[in-house]
A and B are shown apart, each in its own frame.
Chain A
Amino acid sequence: MNKSAIPALIFVIAILFFSKAGAQELFVATEPASNMAKNSIRLRLSNEAVLETDFKSRTSLGIMYGLNKSLTLNVNAFMADFYQRKQRINGYSFYGKYRFLNSDNVQKHFRGAVFAQYSTVKFPIIHDEINLAGENNGLQGGIVFTQLLHKLALSGSVSYTQSLDKFIPGHEMLHDNAHNSIAYTLSSGYLIFPREYTDYKQINTNVYLEFLGDSHTGSGRNFMDASPAIQFIFNSKIRLDFSKRVQLWGNMERRFKNLYQVRVEYNLFNVF
């Protein structure tokens, strides 16, 4: 068995054993195959930080819009002080997701979607990792499936990323001549509170564990991250996420192997 599958499997079995609550698919590190409701907007403010030598962070503001029941669009702006003294906007990303499969049933559903992302940054940071969340220019395309099975929400994706960074002389070595990568994710989540929904004002508490793997197609370099998260939802509109990203193993040259993330999200319905 692939090394990467073991922790995921253990987690899945653990959930099946002790979960009495519902499943949840509002994943923190990945996007599910489910879409936004038509004509609704999601505003997201995220901050990811490293505590390596001193406190450095990247902030992103994202606006997601449900164009119709099948198509969701997103724009992100990134601002960071990782590589300069002050926080300044240094990149944007554009994302679209098309849901092509939808099978709803009582207490279970299965959804499939394809997605594409384009990212542009002012000062690309050339490492082995091609990071479209504010570090590199690139194009990504992928497919994601999300399954809700009674108490268990599972989501898996595979994507292909092509770097569009222009190589600066002297930096080629770090990329190891690999300009594209394949990423794969496995996400799992469940609802721990409330035990039973009664009204919109109840605070929801969800926990997640996600695995994010990445592998260069040419060089064979790879990494596997685990991302545990806790999430609170207030008034069925406001979402607050705390997550951590830790590298489990890998031999890729990356800028950060550990990150903390805080995110606030606000949902608006029937905006137009």
Chain B
Amino acid sequence: MKALRYLVLFALIATVAPNAKAQFEKAEVWVSGMTCSMCQMATQKSLKTIDYIGSIEPNLKTNSFILTFKKGKEVDLDVIKKKIKDAGFSVSRLITTFNFNNRTSVTNNFVFTYAGSTYRFVNVGDKVLHGEVNLLLLSSGFVSTSDYKRYSAQNFDPSYKTGMSGKARILHVTLASN
């Protein structure tokens, strides 16, 4: 039965290839460990070196940044995480806006691929998505350590802990409550 479930998943990966225009448009990232405006400045300067980021809008009150991505550039969310680590801090929360150009029915474990990475929906229920959708990242490195423990306890599929599905990077997402 389990084998069948994974077969269905692989079929989904193969068939729900997103159309060419579907893409990440922006993200809001909250950084933990930052305690001063100088630290936030250092983090912003580190993010500024990412080629797909068009603009950065800092919020010093909430220790967060709104990142707008350049159109047509491939977005690798792991790079954001790495640049924040390089500055000495950690991502505690990341919500990204993905544009579903086509009406897409999603359910738990629904996956789509983008720029070589796989994105898997969890805790979502049955929904139809269209247009701009805010996705909350649940994967390790995109949530606080306490949240990661909480999500790990929910027993998602094994790739949640490894972050890999075969040789491909997999990121777990859910719909962000607005």
How many residues of chain A get a CB closer than 8 Å to chain B's CBs? 39
Tell whether, in the assembled complex, residue B42 and residue A37 are in contact, meaning their CB atoms are under 8 Å apart. Answer: yes
Tell whether, in the assembled complex, residue A34 and residue B32 are in contact, meaning their CB atoms are under 8 Å apart. Answer: no
Tell whether, in the assembled complex, residue B45 and residue A106 are in contact, meaning their CB atoms are under 8 Å apart. Answer: no
Contact partner, B46, options A24, A38, A199, Cβ 8 Å: A38
Q: How far is the CB of B40 from chain A (nearest CB, A)?
A: 7
Can you list 6 residue pairs at the A/B interface with Cβ under 8 Å? A22-B36, A25-B35, A40-B42, A99-B88, A105-B33, A200-B58
Q: How far is the CB of B42 from chain A (nearest CB, A)?
A: 4
Question: Contacts A104-B33, A237-B38 given; 15 further ones with Cβ under 8 A?
Answer: A23-B35, A24-B36, A35-B88, A37-B86, A69-B85, A104-B144, A106-B32, A148-B33, A196-B61, A197-B37, A198-B60, A198-B61, A233-B36, A236-B41, A269-B42
Tell whether, in the assembled complex, residue A204 and residue B88 are in contact, meaning their CB atoms are under 8 Å apart. Answer: no
Tell whether, in the assembled complex, residue B45 and residue A40 are in contact, meaning their CB atoms are under 8 Å apart. Answer: yes
User: Does residue A61 face the partner (Cβ distance < 8 Å to B)?
Assistant: no
Closest B residue, CB atoms, query A194: B37
Q: How far is the CB of A56 from chain B (nearest CB, A)?
A: 32
Q: Main SS of chain A's interface residues? A: loop
Tell whether, in the assembled complex, residue A191 and residue B36 are in contact, meaning their CB atoms are under 8 Å apart. Answer: yes
User: Does residue A2 face the partner (Cβ distance < 8 Å to B)?
Assistant: no
Query: Interface residues, chain B, CB within 8 Å of chain A?
Result: 32-33, 35-38, 40-43, 45-46, 48-49, 58, 60-61, 85-90, 92, 144-146
Q: Which residues of B contact A198 (CB under 8 A)?
A: 60-61
Q: Which residues of A contact B43 (CB under 8 A)?
A: 37
Tell whether, in the assembled complex, residue A37 and residue B45 are in contact, meaning their CB atoms are under 8 Å apart. Answer: yes
Contact partner, A105, options B42, B85, B146, Cβ 8 Å: B146
Q: Which residues of A contact B37 (CB under 8 A)?
A: 197, 199-200, 202, 204, 233, 236
User: Does residue A84 face the partner (Cβ distance < 8 Å to B)?
Assistant: no
User: Does residue A58 face the partner (Cβ distance < 8 Å to B)?
Assistant: no
Contact partner, B45, options A24, A25, A35, A270, Cβ 8 Å: A270
Tell whether, in the assembled complex, residue B49 and residue A270 are in contact, meaning their CB atoms are under 8 Å apart. Answer: yes
Tell whether, in the assembled complex, residue B144 and residue A38 are in contact, meaning their CB atoms are under 8 Å apart. Answer: no
CA distance A197 to B61 in the complex (A): 5
Q: How far is the CB of A240 from chain B (nearest CB, A)?
A: 13
Q: Which residues of A contact B89 (CB under 8 A)?
A: 104
CA distance A103 to B41 in the complex (A): 20
CA distance A40 to B49 in the complex (A): 13
CA distance A181 to B89 in the complex (A): 34
CA distance A269 to B61 in the complex (A): 22
- Taken residue by residue from 97 to 110, chain A's Cβ proximity to chain B (1 for < 8 Å, 0 otherwise) reads as 00100111111010
Q: Which residues of B contact A233 (CB under 8 A)?
A: 36-38
Q: Which residues of A contact B36 (CB under 8 A)?
A: 22, 24, 26, 191, 204, 233, 236
User: Does residue A68 face the partner (Cβ distance < 8 Å to B)?
Assistant: yes
CA distance A141 to B2 in the complex (A): 55
Q: Which residues of A contact B144 (CB under 8 A)?
A: 104-106
User: Does residue A251 face the partner (Cβ distance < 8 Å to B)?
Assistant: no
Closest B residue, CB atoms, query A26: B36
Closest A residue, CB atoms, query B45: A269
Tell whether, in the assembled complex, residue B92 and residue A236 are in contact, meaning their CB atoms are under 8 Å apart. Answer: no
CA distance A26 to B41 in the complex (A): 14
Tell whether, in the assembled complex, residue B38 and residue A267 are in contact, meaning their CB atoms are under 8 Å apart. Answer: yes
Given known pairs A34-B88, A109-B33, A269-B45, the reply for A26 and B38 (CB within 8 Å) is yes
Closest A residue, CB atoms, query B88: A35
Q: How far is the CB of B160 from chain A (nearest CB, A)?
A: 21
Tell whether, in the assembled complex, residue B32 and residue A104 are in contact, meaning their CB atoms are under 8 Å apart. Answer: yes
Q: Which residues of A contact B60 (CB under 8 A)?
A: 197-200
Q: Which residues of A contact B92 (CB under 8 A)?
A: 104-106
Q: Which residues of A contact B35 (CB under 8 A)?
A: 22-25, 109, 148, 153, 191
